Amino acid sequence: MTNPDAGQLNRSKAEALAQQERKVAGVMDMGSLRWVLLGCIVVFALSLFLPFAGGYSGVEILLFTEASRQDVKITENIFAWTGTLGLILGGLMTVFSRKSNPFIFTWALTTIALFEAVLALWLRQTGGGYATAAGIYLAILAVVVAEIVCVMIATRRNPQQQEIARQRRQLDDTDEVGMAQRSASSRVTPTVSQENPALADDRRARAAERHRRQGL
């Protein structure tokens, strides 16, 4: 039967495993996806030197030059900045550090950049003015691939995480067995008649005899 000390020990082990799991999760298991993300960074950086929109390159949009302010839409500015900060800055930090914090930063800004890219293309198609150019399409392609890579990295589990998860499941199963045993032991103790029917019959016989004598 599982005793309270064993239950306390299981809880201590579970807390230690949870702490170890958080520590392991702080380092991303990127594998070969690391190099795919690095390729997206390079492609996005190169696209900034190509025409984005309104005849202006991505670099000119980032610098917010006087000429680009007149023809470039705000969505294209936001896309260029979020893509640069998220994919280039955050992506490089993620690739070389493999830490979870820069990865979350990269993933968040890449998602915003993708949304702004769709909005920017829609506004260009429905509005007038200059059309979008090859640079922005190349940048959008890099952002789309980077977004897919981020999702794949976020759902990966390295062997150490899998082993910790297995140990935690075993502890959970042990706790469930212990709880069932404690629940069974805490039930109401069976009555005397259930434990010893012969003794109960003897008591009933003596009670009947006393009742008969009193009647006489």
pLDDT, tens digit, 9 for 90 and up, residues 140-186: 999 999 999 999 998 877 666 566 666 666 666 555 544 555 555 55
Dihedral sign, Cα of residue 56, residue 60, residue 62, residue 64: negative
Backbone φ, ψ for residue 22 (5° rounding): -65, -40
Q: Interior CA angle at 174 toward 169 and 179, to 5°?
A: 125
Quick: pLDDT tens for 9-50.
Answer: 656 666 665 665 566 556 777 889 999 999 999 999 999 999
Q: How many CA atoms lie within 13 A of 97 on its CB side?
A: 14
